[in-house]
Amino acid sequence: MTSNVLVTGGAGYIGSHACKALSKAGFTPITFDNLSTGWADSVKFGPLEQGDLLDLTRLQEVFQKYKPIAVMHFAALSQVGESMLDPGIYWRNNVCGSLNLIEAAVASDCMRFVFSSTCATYGEQDGVTLTEDSAQHPINAYGASKRAIEDMLKSFAQSHGLKSVIFRYFNVAGADPDGEVGECHQPETHLIPLMLDAIDGKRDALTIYGTDYDTPDGTCIRDYVHVMDLVDAHVQGLSWLLEGKESTVFNLGTGTGFSVREVIDHSSAVTNKAVPIVEGVRRSGDCTRLVSGSQLARSKLGWTPKRSTLQAMITDAWRWHQTGHYDK
């Protein structure tokens, strides 16, 4: 039986780490990526098939060539601010592209699907630790597009028997401790790499978007999970499906939130350097507090995050950052 797993977005940040984890677990990751935000240099653990999810014919060719036993779907536009300004590209790329992927998978009898969703589907629910049963009220097109894909997976489960594991998470951080792959976006939008850029002079300062939130220090709070812990959960989710278990939704987080200022303080401690900052206004679509519980993943999957501390995440990210990978 083939061990090929189709990984969309496998040239990106999370996808490339997932490919390493899959390879380590004995699978062959087949990266499908249009390289709009990913890097061909990150595809080290299996073949790269360049293509776009909006190109159904190209998808069908790849399914026919590799006959994967499962799909692991990471490819998506994911910038909250951009999704507020131009929601159309999020509905078109994320939703229409995912529909093509699901239909191509079903047509190829590839009936196991691991989906990278987001806690942004829950929207603004301050003061609570989110569970899989929390109401979904996304406040931006990014979160809404991910919720729509979740709904599609449920529809195809009813109509065709497609089995899925859906993971909802928010802020992913850190890098491969071995230094083989890491985080690099152009433009960069994630807090920790932006902060590290500011520390070593690649940008003038880190902008804090909003200092008047209803939090202890005025900055918004997020739950951070190490990318290696995250992709371990995805491999466990794949094993869950291969064992014939039911479709399930899992949150992935630590249940502990950190404010932007707390992350800045930890970064200064890890790097022993000050973080130059500029205080800016809030961004449209940003929640005050988003913390994701993951008790279900712990109890059902046996998932145990091992590196999801700010110390480990920033240390691994700083080590990768200093290598200068993908500097152009």
Q: Specify the DSSP element, H or E, that contains 288.
A: none
Task: Evaluate whether residue 101 is within a structural domain.
Answer: yes
Whether residue 157 is contained in a domain is answered as yes
Note whether 134 and 265 are same-domain residues. Answer: no
Strands 70-73 and 4-8: what pairing? parallel
pLDDT digits (tens, 9 = 90+) for 91-142: 999 999 999 999 999 999 999 999 999 988 988 776 678 899 999 999 889 9
The upper half-sphere exposure of residue 139, i.e. CA atoms within 13 Å in the direction of its Cβ, equals: 12
Q: What is the CATH number of the domain that holds 319?
A: 3.90.25.10
Give the dihedral sign, CA 308/314/320/324. positive
164: confidence class by pLDDT, cuts 50, 70, 90: very high
Please check whether residue 230 lies inside any domain of the structure: yes
Same domain, 238 and 293: no
Task: Tell whether 104 and 202 lie within a shared domain.
Answer: no
**Based on the domain organization, do 240 and 319 belong to the same domain?**
no
Task: Please answer whether residues 79 and 143 qualify as being in contact, where contact means their C-beta atoms are separated by less than 8 angstroms.
Answer: no
Instruction: Say what the pTM is.
Output: 0.92
Checking if the pLDDT of 327 tops 70, the result is no
Clarify whether residues 217 and 247 are in a common domain.
no
> If you average pLDDT over residues 172-191, what whole number do you get?
80
Mean pLDDT of 182-200: 77
Confidence grade of residue 325 (pLDDT, cut at 50, 70, 90): low
Average pLDDT over residues 235-253: 97
Note whether residue 49 is domain-resident. yes
Do residue 261 and residue 235 come from a single domain? no
Inside any domain, residue 328: no
182 inside domain: no
In angstroms, the Cα distances linking 158 to 98, 154, 327 are 17, 6, 46
> How far is the C-alpha of 79 from the C-alpha of 84, rounded, in Å?
9
d(CA 200, CA 184): 15
pLDDT tens digits, 39-90: 899 999 999 999 999 999 999 999 999 999 999 999 998 777 677 778 888 9
How high is the pLDDT of residue 78?
Answer: 74
Q: Are residues 134 and 276 in the same domain?
A: no
Cα separation, 251 vs 119, whole angstroms: 8
- For residues 139 and 48, state if they share a domain: yes
Q: Are 15 and 31 in contact (CB under 8 A)?
A: yes
Residue 21 CB contacts under 8 Å (≥ 6 apart), including other chains: 228, 231, 232, 234, 235
* Burial environment of residue 64 by CB neighbours within 10 A (0 to 12, 13 to 18, 19 or more): exposed
User: Per the structure, how many domains does the chain have?
Assistant: 2
Domain span holding position 162:
4-173+224-251
Catalytic residues: 142
Residue 186 domain-assigned (yes or no): no
Taking the C-alpha atoms of residue 147 and residue 134, their distance in angstroms, rounded to an integer, is 13
39 shares a domain with 137: yes
From the list 81, 123, 131, the residue with the least C-alpha distance to 287 is 123
Q: What b/e sequence results for 292-327 when a residue is b if at least 16 CB atoms lie within 10 Å of its CB, and e otherwise?
A: bbbebbeeebebebebbbbebbbbbbbbbbeeebee
The residue with tokens 């520390």 is 199
User: Is residue 1 scored above 60 in pLDDT?
Assistant: no
Indicate whether 184 belongs to any domain: no
Task: Judge if 275 and 156 occupy the same domain.
Answer: no
Domain match, 96 and 38 both:
yes
What is residue 137's predicted lDDT score, i.e. its pLDDT? 92
Token duo for residue 9? 């977005």
What is the percent of the chain where pLDDT is above 90? Answer: 70
Higher pLDDT, 288 or 106: 106
Helix (H) or strand (E) holding 83: helix 80-85
> For residue 284, what pLDDT is reported?
72
Q: Which long-range contacts (CB under 8 A, 24 or more apart) does 134-140 make?
A: 139/285, 139/287, 140/80, 140/83, 140/84, 140/284, 140/285
pLDDT at 185: 56
Shared domain for 214 and 66, answered yes or no, is no
Domain CATH for 103: 3.40.50.720
Give the HSE-up count for residue 138: Cα atoms under 13 Å, Cβ half-sphere: 21
- CA-based radius of gyration for the chain: 19
**Contact status, residue 3 vs residue 23, Cβ threshold 8 Å:** no
